[in-house]
Structure 1
Amino acid sequence: MASSRQHLDALTGLRFLAAAHVVAYHVYHLVFTGAEAPPGLHGLLDSGYVGVSFFFVLSGFILGYNYLERPPDTHAARKAFWVARFARVYPVYALGLAVAAPAFLKGLRDVWAVDPSQASRQAEALVLAPLLLQSWTPWTALAWNAAGWSLAVEAVFYAAFPFLAGRLGRLGPRKLAVGAAVAYGAALLLPALYMLVDPDHTGGTASAYNSGPWMLALRFNPLARLPEFILGILAGRFFLLRAGEAPRSRPVLLAVLGGLVVAALLGSTSLPFPLLHNGLLAPVFAALIVLLPRSRGAVARVLASRPLRLLGEASYALYILHMPVLFAWKSVLKRLGAEPTSAWAVAAYVVGVVCLSVLAYERVEKPARGWIRDLWTGRAEQPATGLQPRA
């Protein structure tokens, strides 16, 4: 493969920033409940869900980058691909379920005492979540470990990728542009229809913490999010087509793209929530993902630095573990009679969850990945890490 590992180091660091934005979003809403930061900062903290859209685009790009030149188009290759994906994501995902289980089961017990019918619906997650199926029903999507909903969506992406790769990997520049436009239009079609019809009767007030069943289905259903992933694959194909070109520094273009993202996040409360949640910024993310690895500017160098690379590698564990750890930490603080909004409590949580994510990456994710792939395939047949293409 023509590409080399260092081309993607900056994306590894960027993964950490996206995951940190998601963490800040949940700390803002689950710790500082009822408080509201100044308008710009509020918009930034209130838009952490956009990071998941970034991860969907990045996932498509990385898989495209790794596999489009040699798509998994045989039974053996598809099996190796799926085993590699399972080995990559499931061990830490299972760890997240284990850490979240006490709070989830206690919550089920409390809900059962008040509304047994609602508790029984949420209890479906006991079966669906371990099978990565919880995002197919609105009432279980956020159950157990809420962050896991996106892994249920990614599972569908992984299942579909071998069948998409053969087609998308042959597209030339013109068809790529058409495909990207179609994918982007498809991403925004359902949110636009939702806004037009308003089936939940929200009057335009839908938000991440004020969603009816139709909005929940729109946000979490894997098919509604598939276009963002396809857009990422197309970005990966475009990147491969230009792999032979000399790296260029495009500081102005990168600054414009970064500025667009920051401006959208700061002003997120003025943008339609359904569109912003479901891929409004996906083309901007795709452009950043394509340009950043080929940049030699200061931002790319910082993102590719060793500390940010390590944090980026641990960002998946951070994403999966940050909510159950937050609930556990709040429970500890309650027992101690401490205030969760105090500076020391928030700092202790942030430092602790980041350190725990690095530990989970080193002691759970990496070794388990090797054990699973060796057990199922006997040898490492395909790249599993997503950011380290192999020859």
Structure 2
Amino acid sequence: MSSTPLQSQQITFTRFIAAITIVFFHFGGDLEYINNPIFLPIKQYGNLGVSYFFLISGVIMSLVYSNKVKLSKAFFRDFYIIRLSRVYPIYLFSLIVVIFFTKYFWRSQLDLSEILFSVFLIQSWVPGKELTLNFPGWSLSVEIFFYLFFPFLILFFRKIGNRKTYMVSFIIWFITQGVFICYFTEGSHLLYNPIMHSGTFIIGAAFGIFLKSNADRLTFIPPNIWAVLLIISTLSFVAIIYNAPAWLALSHNGLLSPLFLIITMSLCLDRKSIGRAFKIPLAVFLGNISYGIYIYQYPVKIFTSYINDKFGLRNWNAYHFYYFLVMLLIVASLSFIVLESPIRDRVKKLINYT
């Protein structure tokens, strides 16, 4: 294993881009210009940001934990506590907000089973319950599934060696894509099933091991090469979504992972130009609040819609959308500063984690 540091911090800002794209995908459909050919891909394929999240989660977790995983109760305890402390508190808070509005402002009946599925983050595991209550939470349910098997995955990879790791992870990804493509139907549970997304996460984890193992050799390549590769791969992605080939409709569960991995590697290794720009404090901060942007999008939309209704502003036009977007950024920023960072630091201190 190489000790050469990879600039994984440069990936952080891409999470912000993905989160904002998903928000436009969910709630920007009524904007007048969204049907313009320039913006239409956001409306149609903004959900690709979720599969990107899963891929990046695998890459980052592998970079951080691949040398730390141990077959011990202490490690497993600390790992699960750390991971849950990062995502669960504000997820639960956002869920409570949605339940409150559903019960006391919409006067709608609540299904106890849906509440329990959501509280225990298993809604994506149950067909027909994936999008209950705070519907973006389905992806957190998938992420929890990844957390459960990640330490075992790394131990398995360590046992079989790097070359077999790359081969096995590609085969798993290929199989999950094949099953999804063969059996996909509109609204199918396969869109949200954790197993169908596991190939994306696993190939990301294997790629993290590849980056870490080959950091010395990769960082020896001139940075400008990585900048050029980043531009080419990004333009390739843009060309794909604007040309919208028929198979792109089947890309929700990670079909574009190889291209995303090239973009990720280029960003990690581009120590100048674009990579440097992605490391500025503002870009890193926006990346850090991306989880809040994602998980609070529906509660904030509910709240701003309620305010609009209260004052008779019922049309969800561009003005209201951007008001909602600004409010979402403020809430996500405050959440990161007041809740996420303090909770994370406190938990690490309590379990003496380094």
Report the counterpart of residue 73 of structure 1 in structure 2.
71
Q: Is contact 1:146-1:323 (8 Å) kept?
A: yes
Report the counterpart of residue 51 of structure 2 in structure 1.
53
Q: CA deviation at 1:309?
A: 0.4
Secondary structure in 2 matching 1:304: coil
Structure 1 position 21 matched with structure 2 position 21:
yes
1:33-44 alignment runs, 5 A limit: 37-44=35-42
CA offsets, 1:227-283, max 9 Å, x none?
Answer: 11101101101001112233542222111211122223334474342x211111111
Secondary structure in 1 matching 2:287: helix
CA offsets, 1:141-166, max 9 Å, x none?
Answer: 11111111111111110010110001
Report the counterpart of residue 252 of structure 1 in structure 2.
228
Q: Is contact 1:61-1:233 (8 Å) kept?
A: yes
Report the counterpart of residue 201 of structure 1 in structure 2.
none
Equivalent position to 2:326, from 327, 345, 351: 351
Amino acid at match of 1:24: F
Amino acid at match of 2:114: A
Distance in 1, matches of 2:215 and 2:34, equals 46
Distance 1:305 1:169, change over 3 A: farther
Distance 1:129 1:47, change over 3 A: same
Distance in 1, matches of 2:323 and 2:230, equals 34
Deviates more, 1:301-310 or 1:161-170: 161-170
Distance 1:308 1:124, change over 3 A: same
Report the counterpart of residue 178 of structure 2 in structure 1.
189
Distance in 2, matches of 1:166 and 1:349, equals 44
Distance in 2, matches of 1:287 and 1:57, equals 12
Distance in 2, matches of 1:174 and 1:289, equals 20
Distance in 2, matches of 1:259 and 1:293, equals 18
Equivalent pairs, count: 349
CA offsets, 1:55-94, max 9 Å, x none?
Answer: 1011111111011122232121111111110111111111
CA offsets, 1:190-238, max 9 Å, x none?
Answer: 222214xx5xxxxxxx3xxxx2xxx1x1011111111111011011010
Q: Which runs of 5+ in 1 are unaligned?
A: 113-118, 199-205, 383-391
Amino acid at match of 2:118: A
Report the counterpart of residue 168 of structure 2 in structure 1.
179
Distance 1:49 1:380, change over 3 A: farther
Secondary structure in 2 matching 1:277: coil
Distance 1:17 1:76, change over 3 A: same
Distance in 1, matches of 2:266 and 2:316, equals 39
Equivalent position to 1:312, from 287, 290, 307: 287
Distance 1:106 1:260, change over 3 A: farther
Q: Is contact 1:43-1:269 (8 Å) kept?
A: no
Report the counterpart of residue 239 of structure 1 in structure 2.
211
Structure 1 position 266 matched with structure 2 position 242:
yes
Report the counterpart of residue 93 of structure 2 in structure 1.
95
Distance 1:193 1:105, change over 3 A: farther
Distance in 2, matches of 1:36 and 1:13, equals 23
Report the counterpart of residue 289 of structure 1 in structure 2.
264
Structure 1 position 299 matched with structure 2 position 299:
no
What is the RMSD computed on CA atoms of the aligned residues?
A: 2.4
1:3-22 alignment runs, 5 A limit: 3-4=4-5, 7-22=7-22
Distance in 2, matches of 1:15 and 1:308, equals 10
Distance in 1, matches of 2:280 and 2:13, equals 8
CA offsets, 1:127-149, max 9 Å, x none?
Answer: 11111111111322111111111
Distance in 1, matches of 2:24 and 2:4, equals 34
| Relative contact order higher in (CA < 8 Å, ≥ 6 apart) | 1
Deviates more, 1:332-341 or 1:313-322: 332-341
Q: Is contact 1:132-1:152 (8 Å) kept?
A: yes
Report the counterpart of residue 118 of structure 2 in structure 1.
129
Distance in 1, matches of 2:58 and 2:240, equals 23
Q: Is contact 1:318-1:357 (8 Å) kept?
A: yes
1:140-155 alignment runs, 5 A limit: 140-155=129-144
Amino acid at match of 1:13: F
Q: CA deviation at 1:106?
A: 6.1
Q: Is contact 1:44-1:266 (8 Å) kept?
A: no
Amino acid at match of 1:130: V
Distance 1:381 1:95, change over 3 A: same
Q: Is contact 1:236-1:290 (8 Å) kept?
A: no
Q: Is contact 1:156-1:222 (8 Å) kept?
A: yes
Report the counterpart of residue 229 of structure 1 in structure 2.
201
CA offsets, 1:276-312, max 9 Å, x none?
Answer: 1111111111222222111034221221111110011
Same amino acid, percent of matched pairs: 26
Amino acid at match of 2:7: H
Q: Is contact 1:40-1:267 (8 Å) kept?
A: no
Amino acid at match of 1:102: F
Q: CA deviation at 1:3?
A: 4.6
